[in-house]
Amino acid sequence: MRERTVDKAMLFSNAFNQYLAWSLSEQLVGYLKRPQIMKLSIALAGLLYVLPAQANAQIEVAEASIAELQEAMESGVVTSAQITGMYLSRIRAYDKAGPNLNAMIWVNWDGTAEAKMLDRERATTGPRGPLHGIPIILKDNYDTFDLPTSAGTLALAGNIPPDDALQVHKLREAGAIILGKSNMHELASGITTIGSLGGQTLNPYDLRRNPGGSSGGTGAAIAASFAAVGWGSDTCGSIRIPSSHNNLVGLRPTKGLSSIDGIIPLSHTQDVGGPLARSLEDLAVALDATIGADPSDPATAVLEGRDLPSFVAALNPNALDGARIGILEAYFGNGGVEAAAASIVRQAIAKMVELGADTITIEIPNLQDLISGSGVISHEFKWDLIDYLAGVPNAPVNSLEEMLELGLIHEALTPGMRRRNAPESRETDAYAAALAKREPLKNAVVSVMEAAQVDALIYPTMREPPSFIGQPQRGSNCSLSANTGLPALSIPAGWTRGLPIGLELLGRSLDDVRLVALGYAYEQATDHRRAPVSTPPLLSGRTPRPLTFTVRTRAGSALSSSGRVRARVRFTYNPLTGALAYEARVSGIRPSDVFAVVLRTKDEEGRPYIERRLSGPSLSPSKGILTLDINERERLESGEFYLEVMTRNHPFGAVRAQLLPIRR
């Protein structure tokens, strides 16, 4: 049995104080930059509770950057082993408990032992580089010799490859600590992250919605600060979509900039691998550690005769000054449900203009005809998987066909997998036709960019926000980069109804550093990054407990004369899940004269409206549980909700009381 790290720190006895500390920390996020948040949250905890100093609480790992973690280790404030233990505590608290994100499949509970060895190395010979002692997470399709590599499918649950993927090898050489493998859409064949082994991953910003995919486990895990940075793969959007859905940054690199050797394939022509991060600085550090040529991956021959770029060195807060951005109008959608993302990205473009960029509307002639039929996933997957399994000694299965025959594919994916298993030959006319369309598509895009003299094209990463779990996710703009091999960067652009929206920048081949620099300039001027409310900082290694509070109206607090009408509602609020349980009782009036008990608030223009109904006619007492979305949670925590009772004599409101679960 693997040894688990046990947090023996003091527990807070007062649940309200627990929640208050978290709430104040969350409130600070809106006003301070990350380094200030980290320092002030530590000071705030000391001021509020005057607790003894704890050896493992000298830095808050939630939202901490790689640079901040390195600074803390170099100064002796904290060790890598302690940081690793804090991340493992967050995984324990939030992955299969609390909000139950279900982002992880395999966890390396022995990670602290590896971290201790790296701490000793730091003390004797110094750090290897910026990833020394930094905990990371891998998507479950990256080969690791010491953890299973299952690609989210029961069929490969026992698959332990003989060696590491090339990028994993590079990460270990850089001193990174692999905390575990994240859930993914089974065999990378979808964008909502569900599978027969890992189940459904939840979006930490709204637990009712999907986290994107297929690298959705990595996206949710890094958004929730289960590690400093994580790795995914992208065949058609699988890095960029989770980045958009989880308020992260992610680069689909130029095909061949990094090796895909040791990544369970979906399509060798379109597959790439790379990091997802909470900031572009962290992304740049991660990219610098993993790019480079590999004889085992023929696509990396594109790097021959070239010096490898430095992403960290290219970061420039003024990169947008003088840049020229092409607005790919065809990818902004057709209004309706796509209108919000389009509007947010247009606002981002306006901000880029403020920062010195020039823009031009771009049209790629015959784009739809060029791109249609240029994807090759359905032609390559079956055969690429056979080739991968043939290279793994004692592989649990030998083919997709065998997986289907054994009934080991999730039922939601089985019909699609049967279609992908249908080709009876590697080389077909349809496959040849698809391959033949890719170069003309790439040439058309590049020629338009050259003619317009633009540094990048811009459009929404996803035209629609994250869909509810169980519903299809639509609105992807993934194919342009995937089918041309050109690099594309997704970065946070803003928010709609509490849900993150990403924008995508597409550049020329091997111009990845320019994209990251442009994104960095925008990020530094806007800072759209927000931590999810479902995974707040731990308090003494523990999650904030549900908060119970009672709201009472009084006779005399009437909106108009209401006699002796009173209401008493006992609430229990779980800040991790947004669940608001209630038990309401109205007195001083006959039940038949009660029309409703409601929660009322105001919109952005100050107009009142009913947000939620707690009770209908003649129902007193009444009880239930509401699941609040992110906007409702923010309004509740800000004291913007009022309890109101509507009666026969006063149908527009008899009595009112403010909900104050948090003292501001």
Q: Point out which residues pair with 459 in neighbouring strands.
A: 504
The token duo for 481 is: 């980069």
Contact 204, 211 (CB under 8 A): yes
DSSP secondary structure code for residue 545 in this structure: P
Q: What number of other Cβ atoms are within 10 A of residue 483's Cβ?
A: 24
The token duo for 112 is: 């602290």
Catalytic one of 25, 65, 89, 214: 214
Question: Which residue type sits at 476?
Answer: S
Three-state SS across 82-138? HHHHHHHHHHHHHCCCCCCCCCEEEECCCHHHHHHHHHHHHHHHCCCCCCCCCEEEE
The token duo for 427 is: 């080389």
Catalytic one of 80, 189, 233, 238: 238
- Told to judge if 139 belongs to the known catalytic residues of this protein, a careful annotator would answer yes
CA atoms within 13 A on the CB side of 330: 10
Taking the CA atoms of 358, 283, 223 and 266 in sequence, report the sign of the dihedral they define: positive
Catalytic one of 23, 25, 80, 139: 139
1 CB-contact burial (10 Å; exposed 0-12 / middle 13-18 / buried 19+): exposed
- Told to judge if 214 belongs to the known catalytic residues of this protein, a careful annotator would answer yes
Burial code (b: 16+ CB inside 10 Å, e: under 16) for 570-604 equals bbebbbbbbebebebebebbeeeebbbbbbbbeee
Burial code (b: 16+ CB inside 10 Å, e: under 16) for 104-129 equals bbbbbbebbebbbebbebbeeeebbe
Question: Which residue type sits at 324?
Answer: R
Enzyme catalytic residues: 139, 214, 238
